[in-house]
């Protein structure tokens, strides 16, 4: 027998307490007074040298209850091999999942992963009764199934492979595969794989928000994951579901060679963050980039040297020095001769030149597209009077004026909307703070339906105007709550374009921004919550309507409401919402492996033309598979916009998670021995897999029996302690 929390066994020492009390206690005796004894001199009762418990059965019950209670908290489980196999004739269901994300492009990682995937497939296919799935993730959204057994069509799977019998030679299939350029999709791929194994066999994903798990387990099922387990994966999604105990997980880790330990990565800084990180008075339109040196185990490693230059302009390289694990944001060097147009930034370690035929590492090349200066018109309206600090009124418009400063790329025209008529044509966005009349709400609704963007902070009080967007009847109150300690933002949707610029290390910490007041927003059906308060109420939500959208905030940015207006994150957050409604004004720096975000005519880096309809269900027809320069032409437009597609910055977070860290995240990772032997070949039955103790204990649930035993002993102890006792000494005296 083993225990998940063996330290709780120390609590069994509490049995000393009832033993001590039983030795010290004396049974009360009834005394009968006799008048003739009043003339005798009282004497002390002689001491007893040896004390014995007077109720052995009660003492035994109490001690046993304490011991079982300690065992209960220690969570015991029986050691041994816990077979996952169902009936011997049904075989096993094995899904081999191979990591093909951008991080697998480095060094000789992919050939090593292919070898390990082949070994796993050969073992899985060694048992003729097994059903084998094989898929890749990281080359696009979801899992790309290359092989699966004959089965009905699975909704939601990107099954592009054959469903016939297993290939005779897995090596031939693996030889033609290459890694992709996407990333941050491991947890989503695992969930999709479990759902695929569930089809027809009753193994379900348990959502933590659901009432309970689903169905009876079917035959044995196992997922074999071949991956580098990089830290930059979407591990935060593990908090949204729990791994079903009926499915085993074997992890085959792939480690890079020694030559890839020291490296400097190059990534672009989203335009929404440039005003925060850069110089707002800088007149050049040169892009900002982020250099990051990989951390090393030895803190005494010398600094890393990196040369940054435009492709083809190596003589003009700028040399930078970074300590191991350090990151630096800087402007790209000027191009030779003032050249313009799409270009590539390269970086190398400075030890030797890069020949024209060579290519830098997967995250050491950045595609850059020119962004022409533009002018945006923003209107705002508020029903609240400003607070006069002696230098002017401080209201929501005050912070807007401070945030919407002209730069080399954007000129802002900020004006006030009097809310006495429709929104003027040509307005790019409207900011509304406070209560709205019903007529003003309808004008804004018409503006959004036509493709406009509204950023709203509903006021506490009458919701007549907000009823056109919120799930509230006219006249219903929007409740406000004030907190002395303030609320925090949690559960941010980092994949949303507005919050994506913050989804990098050092920029995703909102814990320093306190919200003193917030409103309870009754959101309509279909609204997407982008961030929540730590109380569970929506903090930032997006509501689509027609061709436009509403962004609703549960708290404002003035000092009476929150610290948002004075936080450095306010500017990129505000810019992200203002620019998200206009496709031409959106940041033309997209991520590889994602679907094309806009309808229209697309030109891929190899020159192919793809017409993408304005239909969300058909958006998967074009995946931005490789980094490079893409051309995009909006429907009805004659001009083409060049957009840059690059590797996601999180793909450069290359530290591999250990098996212990994976178990802490809630994954039932098998031991190293089980990972090397599963699924086992040979024989006709299912292989046996030694699971981690957490999974076995969750299956056996011995604590339930211990809990029932403790409750039974407590009832017995209550009866024994309350039963009437006879005093033989008193009876004899009587």
Q: Is residue 17 pLDDT above 70, yes or no?
A: yes
101 band by pLDDT with thresholds 50, 70 and 90: very high
Residue pointed to by tokens 């006879």: 726
Q: Nearest 10 degrees: CA dihedral of 582, 588, 592, 595?
A: 20
Task: List Cβ neighbours of 263 (8 Å cut-off, separation of 6 or more).
Answer: 106, 293, 294, 304, 349, 361, 364
- Give residue 46's pLDDT: 63
pTM, rounded to two decimals:
0.67
For residues 428 and 196, give the distance between their C-alpha atoms in angstroms, rounded to a whole number: 44
Which token pair is 187? 């947890």
> What string of H, E and C letters represents the secondary structure of 233-279?
CCHHHHHHCECCCCEEEEEEECCCCHHHCCCEEEEECCHHHHHHHCC
Q: From the CB of residue 496, how many other CB atoms can be counted at a distance below 10 Å?
A: 16
For residues 628 and 605, give the distance between their C-alpha atoms in angstroms, rounded to a whole number: 6
Residue pointed to by tokens 């609204």: 527
Lowest mean pLDDT among 64-78, 424-438, 481-495: 481-495
- Give residue 734's pLDDT: 39
Nearest to 669 by CA among 227, 72, 44: 227
Residue pointed to by tokens 């009847």: 473
Q: Is residue 408 pLDDT above 80, yes or no?
A: no
| Residue 57 parent element (H or E) | helix 56-74
Q: What's the burial of 216, exposed, middle or buried (CB within 10 Å: 0-12/13-18/19+)? A: exposed
Q: Nearest 10 degrees: CA dihedral of 27, 31, 37, 42?
A: 30
675 band by pLDDT with thresholds 50, 70 and 90: very low
Which token pair is 392? 């002017």
For residues 717 and 727, give the distance between their C-alpha atoms in angstroms, rounded to a whole number: 21
- Give residue 215's pLDDT: 34
For residues 129 and 440, give the distance between their C-alpha atoms in angstroms, rounded to a whole number: 67
Which token pair is 488? 């925090």
Give percent of the chain above pLDDT 90.
Answer: 10
Query: Average per-residue pLDDT in the chain?
Result: 76
Query: Residue 646's beta-bridge partner residues?
Result: 591
Q: What's the burial of 641, exposed, middle or buried (CB within 10 Å: 0-12/13-18/19+)? A: buried
Lowest mean pLDDT among 165-169, 481-485, 488-492, 646-650: 165-169
Residue pointed to by tokens 């040196």: 293
Task: List Cβ neighbours of 701 (8 Å cut-off, separation of 6 or more).
Answer: none
For residues 9 and 501, give the distance between their C-alpha atoms in angstroms, rounded to a whole number: 48
Nearest to 530 by CA among 502, 558, 568: 502
Residue count of the chain: 734
Instruction: Name the residue with higher pLDDT: 211 or 269.
Output: 269
What angle, rounded to 10 degrees, do the helices at 702-722 and 56-74 form?
160
Q: What are phi and psi of 293, to 5 degrees?
A: -90, 135
End-to-end CA distance of the chain: 56
For residues 451 and 546, give the distance between their C-alpha atoms in angstroms, rounded to a whole number: 7
Sign of CA dihedral 435, 439, 440, 445: positive
- Give residue 571's pLDDT: 86
Residue pointed to by tokens 């893409």: 630
For residues 527 and 556, give the distance between their C-alpha atoms in angstroms, rounded to a whole number: 19
Q: What are phi and psi of 27, to 5 degrees?
A: -70, 125
Q: What is the CA radius of gyration of the chain?
A: 34
Segment of 93-97, 355-359, 517-521 carrying the highest mean pLDDT: 93-97
> 179 with 100: CB under 8 angstroms?
yes
If DSSP codes are grouped into helix, strand and coil, which group holds residue 87? Answer: coil
Instruction: Name the residue with higher pLDDT: 195 or 162.
Output: 195
Which token pair is 408? 């080399």
Nearest to 603 by CA among 660, 642, 652: 642
Q: From the CB of residue 189, how many other CB atoms can be counted at a distance below 10 Å?
A: 25
For residues 550 and 456, give the distance between their C-alpha atoms in angstroms, rounded to a whole number: 7
What b/e readout covers 703-734, taking b as 16+ CB neighbours within 10 angstroms? beebeebbeebeebbeeeeeeeeeeeeeeeee
| Residue 223 parent element (H or E) | strand 221-227
Q: From the CB of residue 45, how many other CB atoms can be counted at a distance below 10 Å?
A: 5
Sign of CA dihedral 712, 718, 723, 726: positive
- Give residue 97's pLDDT: 93
Q: Is residue 401 pLDDT above 80, yes or no?
A: yes
For residues 266 and 302, give the distance between their C-alpha atoms in angstroms, rounded to a whole number: 20
Residue pointed to by tokens 């330290």: 7
pLDDT tens-place string over residues 279-326:
555 555 678 888 988 887 665 678 888 899 998 888 888 898 888 888
Segment of 463-467, 582-586, 675-679 carrying the highest mean pLDDT: 463-467
- Give residue 100's pLDDT: 93
């Amino acid at each position: 027998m083993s225990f998940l929390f063996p330290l709780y066994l120390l609590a069994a020492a509490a049995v000393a307490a009832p033993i001590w009390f039983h030795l010290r206690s004396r049974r009360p005796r009834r005394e009968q007074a006799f008048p003739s004894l009043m003339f005798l001199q009282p004497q002390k009762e002689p001491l007893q040298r040896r004390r014995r418990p007077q109720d052995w059965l009660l003492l035994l019950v109490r001690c046993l209850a304490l011991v079982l209670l300690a065992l209960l908290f220690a969570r015991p489980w029986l050691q041994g091999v816990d077979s996952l196999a169902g009936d011997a004739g049904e075989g096993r269901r094995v899904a081999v999942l191979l990591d093909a994300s951008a991080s697998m492009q480095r060094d000789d990682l992919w050939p090593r992963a292919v070898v390990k995937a082949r070994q796993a497939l050969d073992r899985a296919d060694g048992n003729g009764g097994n059903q084998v799935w094989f898929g890749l993730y990281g080359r696009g959204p979801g899992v790309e199934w290359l092989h699966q057994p004959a089965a009905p069509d699975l909704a939601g799977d990107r099954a592009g492979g054959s469903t016939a019998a297993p290939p005779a030679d897995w090596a031939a299939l693996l030889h033609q595969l290459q890694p992709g350029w996407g990333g941050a999709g491991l947890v989503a791929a695992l969930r999709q794989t479990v759902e695929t194994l569930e089809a027809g066999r009753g193994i379900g994903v348990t959502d933590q928000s659901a009432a309970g798990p689903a169905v009876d387990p079917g035959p044995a099922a196992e997922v074999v994951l071949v991956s580098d387990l990089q830290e930059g994966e979407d591990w935060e999604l593990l908090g949204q579901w729990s791994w079903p105990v009926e499915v085993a997980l074997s992890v085959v880790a792939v480690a890079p060679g020694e030559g890839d330990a020291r490296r400097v990565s190059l990534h672009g800084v989203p335009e929404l963050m440039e005003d925060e990180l850069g110089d707002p008075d800088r007149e050049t339109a040169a892009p900002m980039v982020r250099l990051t040196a990989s951390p090393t185990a030895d803190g005494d490693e010398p600094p890393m040297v990196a040369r940054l230059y435009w492709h083809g302009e190596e003589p003009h390289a700028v040399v930078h020095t970074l300590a191991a694990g350090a990151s630096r944001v800087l402007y790209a060097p000027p191009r030779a001769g003032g050249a313009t147009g799409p270009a590539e930034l390269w970086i190398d370690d400075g030890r030797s030149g890069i020949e024209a035929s060579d290519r830098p590492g997967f995250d050491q090349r950045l595609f850059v597209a020119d962004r022409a200066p533009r002018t945006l018109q923003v209107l705002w309206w508020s029903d609240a009077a400003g607070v006069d600090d002696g230098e002017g009124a401080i209201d929501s418009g005050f912070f807007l004026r401070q945030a919407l400063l002209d730069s080399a790329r954007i000129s802002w025209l900020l004006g006030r909307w009097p809310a006495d008529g429709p929104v003027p044509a040509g307005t790019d966005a409207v900011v509304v703070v406070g209560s709205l009349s019903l007529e003003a709400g309808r004008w804004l609704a018409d503006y959004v339906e036509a493709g406009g963007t509204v950023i709203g902070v509903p006021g506490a009080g009458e919701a007549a105007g907000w009823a056109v967007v919120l799930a509230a009847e006219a006249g219903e109150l929007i409740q406000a709550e004030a907190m002395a300690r303030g609320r925090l933002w949690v559960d941010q949707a980092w994949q949303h374009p507005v919050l994506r610029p913050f989804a990098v290390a050092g920029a995703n910490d909102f814990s320093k921004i306190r919200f003193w007041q917030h409103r309870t927003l009754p959101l309509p059906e279909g609204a997407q919550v982008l961030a929540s308060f730590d109380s569970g109420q929506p903090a930032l939500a997006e509501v689509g309507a027609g061709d436009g959208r509403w962004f609703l905030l549960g708290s404002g940015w003035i000092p009476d409401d929150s610290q948002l207006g004075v936080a450095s994150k306010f500017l990129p957050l505000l810019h992200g919402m203002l620019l998200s409604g206009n496709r031409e004004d959106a940041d033309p720096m997209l991520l590889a492996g994602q679907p094309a975000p806009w309808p229209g005519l697309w030109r891929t880096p190899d020159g192919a033309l793809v017409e993408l309809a304005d239909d969300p269900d058909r958006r998967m027809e074009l995946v931005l598979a490789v980094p490079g320069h893409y051309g995009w032409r909006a429907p009805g437009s004659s001009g083409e916009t060049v957009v840059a597609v690059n590797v996601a910055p999180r793909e450069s977070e290359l530290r591999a998670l250990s098996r212990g860290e994976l178990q802490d995240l809630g994954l039932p990772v098998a031991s190293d021995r089980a990972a090397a032997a599963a699924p086992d070949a040979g024989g006709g039955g299912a292989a046996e897999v030694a699971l981690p103790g957490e999974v076995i204990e969750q299956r056996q649930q011995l604590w339930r029996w211990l809990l029932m035993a403790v409750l039974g002993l407590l009832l017995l102890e209550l009866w024994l302690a309350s039963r009437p006792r006879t005093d033989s000494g008193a009876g004899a005296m009587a």
